[in-house]
Amino acid sequence: MSGNKDPSRQDYSHGNHGMGAIRFPFSNNPSIYSQPPCNPEIDQAIGNSHGYDPTSYMSFTECLQASTGYGVLSKAFDLSCSSSEVLAPGDGGGTANELVESSTGHGGNSATPNSSVSSSSTEAVGEEDSERSKKDQQPKGCGDGMERSKKVTKPRKKGEKRQREPRFAFMTKSEIDNLEDGYRWRKYGQKAVKNSPYPRSYYRCTSQKCSVKKRVERSFQDPTTVITTYEGVHTHPSPATLRGSTASMLAPSILTPTPSSVTNFHQDLFMQMPSTNFHQGDPSSLYLQSLSHNQRLQLPDYGLLQDVIPPFIRKQP
């Protein structure tokens, strides 16, 4: 191996050398994302209704950290959502597939034209991830000299369905695949995506006790769009947060509340969300749109407030 073998990666990973060097961009400029996501799969996954409200954004990190409290999200959605649309099979499709992690929602009737940024997805909040427990219980010892072909598989109880962590999917307009979100990730897999020339990458949070995963893929119809799907809840604060101002350095516009304040902060944060910002799917899900880091440079300077005030609040007159 010589690294850099995957052309499909290189093509759009400008300047992305490993992780942690990328800033997550966002912008308040609604015009940038004037076109709907193109990948039909993704459209469905994120419940794209072509009617999202581009004026309402929150930063990637905010969303992510908000995801540390699904209850909060749910609460927020309860407050802000009136209908049950989530996924928008809309165009007669019903070709729901892999990206529609959100299992269903409730029928996910098509969103109304103004129903906004619909959410993407979340899945049943599995208490115990059987998948993970499989790994945990799986005799790791099988590694020593053991070939993969003899990999021990944990006997799964019959009828025990694999449950997944809740997921959030974000769409991001970016040339960069692996967006800086304040956490450290280790890539553990990459797969070709059906019907797409772009591969899907699988990442796992490097924190030992944290089992959060994320998938990153690129829309095949709009290569500038990256779809990031988070699965699980971080059990630890963002390393960036711990490092103090690092997060701010990486992404000055991204709020990185202290761990202890995350919950309350996001509760407030979602409470303040415009009702068009997110729609309730199943319990909670987000669909974030953001912009390239280039565009972020055009943001007005809020000084210290940049790190305090959520962007979607900031932008308001």
Partner DNA sequence: CGACTTTGACCGGCGC
Partner DNA sequence: GCGCCGGTCAAAGTCG
Helix, strand, coil shares, percent, the chain, to 5: 25, 10, 65
Alpha carbons within 13 A on the beta-carbon side of 312: 25
As a whole number of angstroms, the distance between CA 156 and CA 37 comes to: 38
Taking the alpha carbons of 166, 42, 85, 36 in that order, is the dihedral positive or negative?
A: positive
Shortest Cβ 95–DNA spacing (Å): 11
Q: 158 or 301, CB closer to DNA? A: 158
Q: What single DSSP character describes residue 34?
A: -
Q: 148 vs 209, which CB is nearer to DNA?
A: 148
Amino acid letter, 177: D
CB 251, min distance to DNA, A: 18
Binding site for DNA (CB under 7 A): 1-6, 9, 17-19, 97-98, 101, 131, 135, 138, 140, 142-143, 146, 148-149, 151, 153-154, 156, 160-162, 178, 184-194, 200-204, 206, 213, 215
Residue 142, SS3?
helix
230 vs 278, beta carbon nearer DNA: 230
Query: Which residue number, 9 or 314, has a Cβ lying nearer to DNA?
Result: 9
Q: To the nearest whole angstrom, how small is the minimum distance from the Cβ of residue 222 to DNA?
A: 18
Residue type, 172: T
Closer of 31 and 150 to DNA (Cβ):
150
The answer to whether 277 touches 11, Cβ cutoff 8 Å, is no
- Least Cβ distance, residue 79 to DNA (angstroms): 30
Please count the helices (runs of H) and the strands (runs of E) in the chain.
10, 6
Encode burial over 202-228: b for 16+ CB neighbours within 10 A, e otherwise.
bbbbebeebbbbbbbbbbbbbbebbbb
Task: Closer to DNA by CB, 55 or 103: give it.
Answer: 103
Give least dist CB 197 to DNA, A: 13
131 burial level (CB within 10 Å; 0-12, 13-18, 19+)? middle
CB nearer DNA, residue 147 or residue 301: 147
* Torsion 238-233-198-5 (CA) sign: positive
Task: Tell me how far, at minimum, the Cβ of 187 lies from DNA, in Å.
Answer: 4
Q: In the numeric block, which tokens belong to residue 215? A: 């998938």
Decide if 239 contacts 37 (C-beta within 8 A).
Answer: no
Min dist. Cβ of residue 87 to DNA (A): 15
As measured in angstroms, the least distance from the Cβ of 7 to DNA is 9
CA distances to 70, 90, 113, 165, 180 from 108, rounded to whole Å, are 20, 8, 14, 20, 31
> Residue 16 or residue 29: which is nearer to DNA going by CB?
16
